[in-house]
Amino acid sequence: MKPAIEVKEVSKMYRLGQVGSATLKDDLVRSWNRLTKGKDPFADQGQENDRTSAALNPYVWALKDINFEVMPGEVMGIIGKNGAGKSTLLKILSRVTTPSVGEVVLRGRVSSLLEVGTGFHPELTGRENIYLNGAILGMRRVEIQKKFDEIVAFAGVEKYVNTPVKRYSSGMYVRLAFAVAAHLEPEILIVDEVLAVGDAEFQKKCLGKMKAVSQEDGRTVLFVSHNMTAIRQLCSRCVVLKNGTVQTIGEPNATINTYLTTFDKHILEKDWEEQEAPGNESIKLRSMSLCYADGERPTTGMFEITRDLVLKARYEVKEPMGAFTHGLSLFNEEEVNLFNSHDVTSSLRNEERKPGMYTIEAVIPGNLLSEGKFSISLTLFKKTPFEIFAQAEKVIQFSVVDEMTGRSARGDYAQGWPGMVRPLLQWSSKKDTL
């Protein structure tokens, strides 16, 4: 079976700040070299697509030497930081733009959803745009009519189907655009991050539809998203792009872990000067840190899964205050809030505070967290009536690993440990006697 998509040595160069190569002569030279399949005369001047570094010359490789294949019926995820080249790659695959070097082979009709309202004419009604998009995809009118009611029902825009789409909200726009793209039977469906515009219910609906399109209809899906949970649920493989190049290709758990490990940094300690410290005129949060219970702090930012962790913080009370408490929120690598915990045990929690420096500590017991990357937020607040005095969001960033024991906590499961916590509960098992 031949791949539905073949990307062969694809590269894309752009000139920064200007359209074209600055002169007609340069444009003609580049066009001639493209026609004769010669080397681009500016290829050697192209820089890596790193948006954080200063430009040394006007030419940059938005994509460089991209190679991969997608088989029919496969759902391929594409992940990477903003500016990594994801949208450029999808535009090449959708024939919106052409590669500077290389070749793309597509076997089947392609339907793309790259941004809100792709392929829609704002002056036409929703009904008219459905027929227009179907015609662009090569569908006959009778085929579109068979799918029309299903498209409108999926999008949930029955009341507005005869209204020009320029009057739609962005959410309505993307609902109808996705419904058209998914229902008009393309062999290849390309979806960019536009689903983030829709509400949670619609996003869930879209993920279910893409899974059905792949598994039941055997169509190929390319899906770009920053939602790692959606990537894990939907995709069979992932491509990780970094600075316009392929960093890795593989199954979702491994590639997502590579992506998050590469792009996230560890922060185990934070101190604030007076003027930048979180808080108000009465109270200031001055420092936060994370370490083992014995005070040790790993230089790698990776903590052993079995050992207790201690979050420490210092705050300054500048004038007498009533009683308040402290709370932390712990997030996983996908920014899902795993749990919140506030102080219900310390001696100061119900007492008024006099001016001075105070230290608080919270223990995260060993074997509570699974392997992964986490971040911690800290809040100083009053419960009744509720009022926040100081808040530091996701300041502490760290990893939990089980490599020190010689075996991974995820090793008991083929698809990885099923969750972000792994409390060791007390179990018993015995055979009943008759």
Query: What confidence tens digit (pLDDT) does each residue in 303-347 have?
Result: 888 899 999 999 999 999 888 889 999 988 777 888 999 888 887
Q: Maximum Cα–Cα distance for the chain, whole Å? A: 94
Instruction: With respect to residue 145, please indicate whether it lies within any of the assigned structural domains.
Output: no
- Does residue 361 surpass a pLDDT of 50? yes
Residue 30 has a pLDDT of 64
Instruction: With respect to residue 231, please indicate whether it lies within any of the assigned structural domains.
Output: yes
Higher pLDDT, 397 or 426: 397
- Does residue 406 surpass a pLDDT of 50? no
Check whether residue 208 and residue 337 sit in a common domain. Answer: no
Check whether residue 242 and residue 282 sit in a common domain. Answer: no
pTM higher than 0.75, yes or no? Answer: no
- Does residue 236 surpass a pLDDT of 50? yes
Joined together, the tokens standing for residue 418 give 């099923």
Check whether residue 246 and residue 288 sit in a common domain. Answer: no
Amino acid at 333: E
Residue 5 has a pLDDT of 93
Q: Contact 200/151 with Cβ under 8 angstroms?
A: no
Could you tell me the sign of the dihedral formed by the alpha carbons of 37, 39, 45, 49, in that order?
positive
- Highest-pLDDT range among 22-31, 46-55, 144-153, 201-210: 144-153
- Summarised one tens digit per residue, pLDDT across range 242-287 is 888 998 999 888 888 777 666 557 889 999 988 889 999 899 999 9
CATH number, domain at 30? 3.40.50.300
Joined together, the tokens standing for residue 430 give 């015995």
- Summarised one tens digit per residue, pLDDT across range 79-131 is 888 778 888 898 899 888 888 888 899 998 888 877 655 678 889 999 999 99
Q: Contact 175/130 with Cβ under 8 angstroms?
A: no
Instruction: With respect to residue 114, please indicate whether it lies within any of the assigned structural domains.
Output: no
Check whether residue 312 and residue 386 sit in a common domain. Answer: yes
Joined together, the tokens standing for residue 431 give 């055979």
Identify the domain containing residue 256 by its residue range. 5-108+187-263
Q: Dihedrals φ, ψ of 216, to 5°?
A: -90, -40
Instruction: With respect to residue 181, please indicate whether it lies within any of the assigned structural domains.
Output: no
Residue 264 has a pLDDT of 58
Instruction: With respect to residue 168, please indicate whether it lies within any of the assigned structural domains.
Output: no
Joined together, the tokens standing for residue 19 give 């359209």
Q: Label residue 357 by pLDDT band (50, 70, 90).
A: very high
- For the chain, the residue count is 434
- Asked which of 238, 263, 288 is the last residue of a domain, the reply is 263
Check whether residue 192 and residue 311 sit in a common domain. Answer: no
Residue 410 has a pLDDT of 46
- Does residue 17 surpass a pLDDT of 80? no
Check whether residue 327 and residue 309 sit in a common domain. Answer: yes
With CA atoms as reference, report the closest residue to 167 among 134, 126, 114, 113. Answer: 126
Find the mean pLDDT for residues 382-398: 89
Which of 111-120, 171-180, 201-210, 303-312 shows the lowest mean pLDDT across its residues? 111-120
Residue 405 has a pLDDT of 45
Give the integer Cα–Cα distance in Å for 405 and 257. Answer: 20
Residue 428 has a pLDDT of 64
SS3 for the chain is CCCCEEEEEEEEEEECCCCCCCCHHHHHHHHHHHHCCCCCCCHHHCECCCCCCCCCCCEEEEEEEEEEEECCCCEEEEECCCCCCHHHHHHHHCCCCCCCEEEEEECCCEEEECCCCCCCCCCCEHHHHHHHHHHHCCCCHHHHHHHHHHHHHHHCCHHHCCCEHHHCCHHHHHHHHHHHHHHCCCCEEEECHHHHHCCHHHHHHHHHHHHHHHHCCCCEEEEECCCHHHHHHHCCEEEEEECCEEEEEECHHHHHHHHHHHHCCCECEEECCCCCCCECCCEEEEEEEEEECCCCCCCCCEEECCCCEEEEEEEEECCCECCCEEEEEEEECCCCEEEEEECCCCCCCCCCECCEEEEEEEEECCCCECCEEEEEEEEEEECCCCEEEEEEEEEEEEEEECHHHCCCHHHHCCCCCCCCECCCCCCCCCCCCC
Query: Residue 9 contacts by C-beta under 8 Å, 6 or more apart in sequence?
Result: 65, 66, 67, 101, 102, 103
Check whether residue 279 and residue 359 sit in a common domain. Answer: yes
Give the integer Cα–Cα distance in Å for 112 and 194. Answer: 11
Q: Label residue 404 by pLDDT band (50, 70, 90).
A: very low
Residue 27 has a pLDDT of 66
Check whether residue 227 and residue 372 sit in a common domain. Answer: no
Domain total in the chain: 2
With CA atoms as reference, report the closest residue to 231 among 208, 258, 253, 199. Answer: 253
Query: Residue 204 contacts by C-beta under 8 Å, 6 or more apart in sequence?
Result: none
Check whether residue 375 and residue 331 sit in a common domain. Answer: yes
Check whether residue 323 and residue 396 sit in a common domain. Answer: yes
Q: Label residue 418 by pLDDT band (50, 70, 90).
A: low
Instruction: With respect to residue 377, please indicate whether it lies within any of the assigned structural domains.
Output: yes
How crowded is residue 48: how many other Cβ atoms within 10 Å of its Cβ?
A: 12
Sheet with 5-15: list strands edge to edge: 59-70, 5-15, 101-106
Mean pLDDT of the chain: 81
Check whether residue 279 and residue 247 sit in a common domain. Answer: no
Q: Dihedrals φ, ψ of 79, to 5°?
A: -125, 160
Instruction: With respect to residue 176, please indicate whether it lies within any of the assigned structural domains.
Output: no
- Summarised one tens digit per residue, pLDDT across range 43-69 is 555 555 555 444 455 677 889 899 999
- Does residue 375 surpass a pLDDT of 50? yes
Check whether residue 218 and residue 299 sit in a common domain. Answer: no
